Structure 1
Amino acid sequence: MASAFETAWTCFEVTLQDRVAHIRLNRPEAFNSMNRAFWNELPAIVDDISDNARARVIVISSTGRHFTAGMDLQNFAGVGGGGGGTGEGPRRPDIAGEASRAHLESLQDAFSCLDRARMPVIAAIQGGCVGGGVDLTAACDIRYASAEAFFCIQEINIGMTADAGTFPRLCRLIPQGWVRELAYTGRRLPAEAAREIGLVNAVLPDPEAVVAHALAVAREIAAKSPLAVAGSKVMINYAREHDTETALDYLRVWQAGMFPAADMAETFKARQEGREPDFPDLRPVHRGM
């Protein structure tokens, strides 16, 4: 099977340099809206990079004026609808609702793959980060934005509730009052305000600068022990979902089985020898048989 870097994707461009995988949303003529192909391609790309340890860090950026305009609703007309069965029987909204739930689970999973990735994921955001773009970036480990960037929970403006991951993740990233104001009003949150409330780590002058900054941070992370970085991501994600004592116990279990003693020894040796440490990559994992 071709790797993520060897495949011609419809919605993305994927490159690898300095152990950093760079995924670019690549439909600028459509404001990088999320069509059907997007939802299939993103998890395929991220899972391939993660499962095969093809990179040590992933950076997600975009092209054109906006990071993304969010979901392309024209591609989802009729999904989960219909009569809920075959034949001439009465409509069954309950059966149609079950199908809609299953479909929504697949959309949510397209962003949950970023949480599951074994390496950190950094978002470099320019222009509008609208609707599903908020879902996507909220699932990343680190977010940077350009000065003109803005975030918008657009769903309320079209008469629906955001459902692909915004609320479960955003409520852990920024104060709940901000989540509620943005969700209820559909207002734009400018980049500098996003930095002030902790949604983004830094604001850079322009789109080129934000991508350069994200890649520089990614290269810095890629120089560290991949095992230690992976462990840090696992622990942070676990602590986010559990109480302190449970998270401490899980940390003890992780360290008991995966303490990177060899990487620590390499770090000290490299310092003594005046060189950069050389760490092994994570091993590929195989799904199924």
Structure 2
Amino acid sequence: MNKSNEHVLAMGACFNEHADSHLVCVQNDDGNYQTQAISIHNQPRKVTGSCFFVFSGALKASSGYLAKTSIVEDGLMVQITAEMMEALRQALREMKDFHIPCGKADQEECQEHIHIQWQEDDRNFNKGIISPIDGKSMESITSIKIFHGSEYRASGKVIRWTEVFFLQSEDQPNGLSDPADHSRLTENVARAFCVALCPHLKLLKEDGMAKLGLRVTLDSDQVGYLAGSNGQPLLPQYMKDLDSALVPVIHGGACQLSEGPVVMELVFYILENIS
């Protein structure tokens, strides 16, 4: 909210299990993209999910419209006035429901309505996901996908950081109040882990340990880490390099921690270097 452009508010959406259809964007043979809705066979569409939504505050009052909606690729675009955008942002900050009537201003009844409603916290996510360290269930645990995280190459392999799970914080046992506050620490930990394992990537991949987990604990009484793959701890031959790289980073992060305790788990993949 605070960092986004004041005229545009865009948010990604999660998969909606209650929807009977979803918007998708398909590339045609001529290279152009077309929006389609995939749905359950022989079942009428009642609730359609989208992958993102965008509110644009560029609609002029002179346009004659209260608000306009349109489907863009696999998401929803809502054009509103600058005044409506300001009211929307205020409602979101105060966690209040918000209603946007759409259509021409001179119409007696609006054809479309946008309702933004606050719901109970949804804990039904990461179903079936388990830790590569010890098989611990990650269901209902807050996580963030990493799309541009640490990535290092060695011996024809590449190790890539793909996700971080926030297992515990002092205020919320199932996740941090604001995971973004720990972005620098998680990035430093991921970088140290990748660098330490670079000399071992070929051997790890050949031994079937392509998915790796690193669980870091930061507490006043306990600071440490666990690393593993396929439900087993990594062998001692890897731990010496990991200790040298990770221990200084983790202890440094613990000293700077303003809240505690914190337990987070980072997930890495070893892939073939095709570049």
Query: Do they fold alike, i.e. is TM over 0.5?
Result: no
Relative to its length, the structure with more helix (as a share) is 1
Q: Point out which structure has higher relative CO (alpha carbons under 8 A, 6+ apart).
A: 1
Relative to its length, the structure with more strand (as a share) is 2
Larger radius of gyration: 2
